[in-house]
Every structure is written in C-alpha cells, then in structure tokens.
Amino acid sequence: MNYARTNGLSFRLKHWTAKPSWQMFSHNNGAMLGATTLVITILMAIIGPWIAPFDPAQQFSNRSFQPPLWNQGGNFAHFLGTDDLGRDLFSRLLHGARLSLMLSGFIVLVAAGIGVLLGAIAAFLPPFVRNILMRFMDLLLSLPSLLLAIAVVAVIGPGLNNAVYAVILVLIPQFVKLTQSSISQELSKDYAMAARLDGARPIRLLFKHIGPNIVPAIIIQLTFSFSTALLDIAALGFLGLGAQPPIAEWGTMLAESRAYIQYAPWTMALPGLAIFLTILSINLVGDGLRDALDPQINQ
C-alpha cells in the first residue's frame, strides 16, 4: 500500500485502482449465485478424479442405460445413471468438467492475450497498416465462429489439439477489434489529451490511463468468449472433429448420446445441463465484475 501521511492526510498516488469492489460484487445476487456455481464446478473439476466413483471409461455391459436416482429403476451406485455402454455418467461429467473448463480457460487466455496485444499495437499503427489488419479481422469475423472453426479443423485435421487451435484463432479477431476500437475511442476523449499534456508518454498513457478504462469491456468479452470457447469445443466434439469418443468431454458426451434421446434422455440432458450452468454462471460473474470495477457505480 502506498499510504503515507501528509499533514494528517493520506491518499494514494501510485496505487491505481484496477481492483473490483467486493462490496459491490457481494450485493449482486446474480453474480454471487454465478460465482458460487462456478467455484463448485471448478472444485469438482479439480477433485473430480478422487471423488469419481468409477473410471470414466470403465464399461459395465450389464448396466447400460440405468436411469438416474430420481427415475424409476435408478440405484445409488450410479446415481446420475449410465450411458449406452454402461459408463457411469457422474464420473464422466466430473472428468469432462476438468477437460472442458481447462481447455476453455486456456483458449480464452491465449486468444485474449494475442488479441489484446494485436489490438493495442493496431491502435498505434499508421492508418494504412491498421486498416489492412482491421479488414482482415473483419473478414474473419464475417464468418460464423463455428463454421470458421470447422473449416480450420478440416484443414489441419480433427483432434482435440487442433480443435483448440481452431477455436483460439476464431476468438482472436473479437479481442483485436474490441481493444483497438476502445483504445481509439478513449484516446479521443479529453482526459487522454489532458494526460498527454501532463507529459505522459505513450506507454504510460496506454497502461495507466486508458488501460483501466478498457478493462471492463475486455472482461465482458472474456466471459462471452469463455462460453463461446466451451460451446465451440463441445460443438466440435459433437461433430466428431474435436475430442475423440473415448475421452470424457461434455460436447462429445452430448454427441454420443444423441441417438438415445428418446429412450434415455438423461444421457443427453445431464451434459447439456452442465454446459448450460457453467456458461450461465460465467456470464453472471462477468456482469457482476463489470459493475464492481466501475468506480462511478460502486461508490
């Protein structure tokens, strides 16, 4: 803390606030609910392999299509039921959470890192070069993200790794566009000119003055991109282009069970519900973070 006393006063000089206000966040019921769900999901993903009752790939050929506990014929051993090959759904969901969350987190961080860096560079490029870069990004954005991911995977071949690269590539343009446009917008405001006239050099202007003002926009984009990544990875798995069948991954599980939706709906509903809840909680947390980061709202 950079607190020091001057004539009985204390105020911060160098410690700029990028910290969200916990008070604001904790009063936002939706955000708290989302955060709780998310923390539970992440915890489950971490300790999953230890609490999972069965191996996710272990098949019990005599126990296929056991319904979950609350349906008629459910039993305690497989309390979320089993799938077509008699694999325990709860164990598969736990292992799938690990893979899905880790992959989406990795994808979003890499895409955001590259995208924000490119966007920040683009904002300071000469107009001609910037326009070329931005039109290229527009080109990538003009295709639906899933279609583009499918195209990329079709070129580099199916598989989980390639699906990850494809989704990263698909997510980058959004970050570039967002960062570049927010920086240009903030640069045109009076306070940016005031900071320049106060002698702030471009690097300081970018990180100290403009940075904190575009962070909320990037956080919102991060949460949206996280859900897009989760969905795209799941969708690629669903199409057979991402995670390959023996791997427990939510999208792949969804895909495998689509033939049995009428006979055994839980095999599809449970992974779907897991994806839905995770994305919902991430979006709620993102909304709450945006409000908590804004000093104009949280004082």
Partner 1 sequence: MANLLKAKLLRKSYKVSNNPFKERYLEVLKGVSFSINPGQTLAIVGESGSGKSTLARILVGAEKPDSGELLFNGNDILKNKHFAWYKDIRMVFQNPRTSFNPRATIAQILAESLLNAKADNSMQIKYKIAETLEMVGLRPEYADRYPHTFSGGQRQRIAIARALMLNPKIIVADEPVSALDVSVQAQIINLLLDLQEKLQLAYIFISHDLGLVQHFSDKVLVMNKGIQEEYGPVGQVFSQPQSQYTQKLLAASAGYKRKITE
What gap in Å lies between CA 187 and CA 213, rounded to an integer? 11
Please report, as a single letter, which amino acid is at residue 274.
A
What gap in Å lies between CA 33 and CA 97, rounded to an integer? 19
What gap in Å lies between CA 228 and CA 141, rounded to an integer? 14
The DSSP line for 144-162 is -HHHHHHHHHHHH-SSHHH
Per-residue tokens: 65 = 């299509």
6 binds partner 1 (CB under 8 A): yes
Please report, as a single letter, which amino acid is at residue 269.
A
* 83 or 186: CB nearest partner 1: 186
Can you tell me which of 43, 51, 151, 194 binds partner 1, judged by CB under 8 A?
194
64 binds partner 1 (CB under 8 A): no
What gap in Å lies between CA 270 and CA 68, rounded to an integer? 10
Size of the site for partner 1 (CB under 8 A): 31
136 binds partner 1 (CB under 8 A): no
Per-residue tokens: 209 = 């003055």
129 binds partner 1 (CB under 8 A): no
* 127 or 246: CB nearest partner 1: 127
Site for partner 1 in 81-110 (CB under 8 A): none
What gap in Å lies between CA 116 and CA 177, rounded to an integer? 9
Range list of β-strands (E), the chain:
5-6, 9-10
Site pattern 237..276 for partner 1 (x: CB under 8 A): ----------------------------------------
Q: Are 274 and 250 in contact (CB under 8 A)?
A: yes
* 23 or 71: CB nearest partner 1: 23
Site pattern 9..48 for partner 1 (x: CB under 8 A): xxxxxx-xx-------------------------------
130 binds partner 1 (CB under 8 A): no
Reference 278, options 36, 30, 41; nearest CA is: 41
* 16 or 22: CB nearest partner 1: 16
138 binds partner 1 (CB under 8 A): no
Q: Are 298 and 290 in contact (CB under 8 A)?
A: no
* 63 or 204: CB nearest partner 1: 204
Task: Write down the least CB distance from residue 24 to partner 1, Å.
Answer: 14
**Of 42-50, 188-196, 231-239, 278-286: span binding partner 1 (CB under 8 A):** 188-196
Site pattern 200..229 for partner 1 (x: CB under 8 A): xx--x----x--xx----------------
Neighbours of 2 (CB within 10 A): 10
**Of 28-36, 141-149, 193-201, 226-234: span binding partner 1 (CB under 8 A):** 193-201
What gap in Å lies between CA 177 and CA 61, rounded to an integer? 51
Can you tell me which of 50, 190, 203, 262 binds partner 1, judged by CB under 8 A?
190
Separation of CA 129 from chain center:
30
Residues that bind partner 1 (CB under 8 A): 2, 4, 6-7, 9-14, 16-17, 189-191, 193-201, 204, 209, 212-213, 295-296, 299
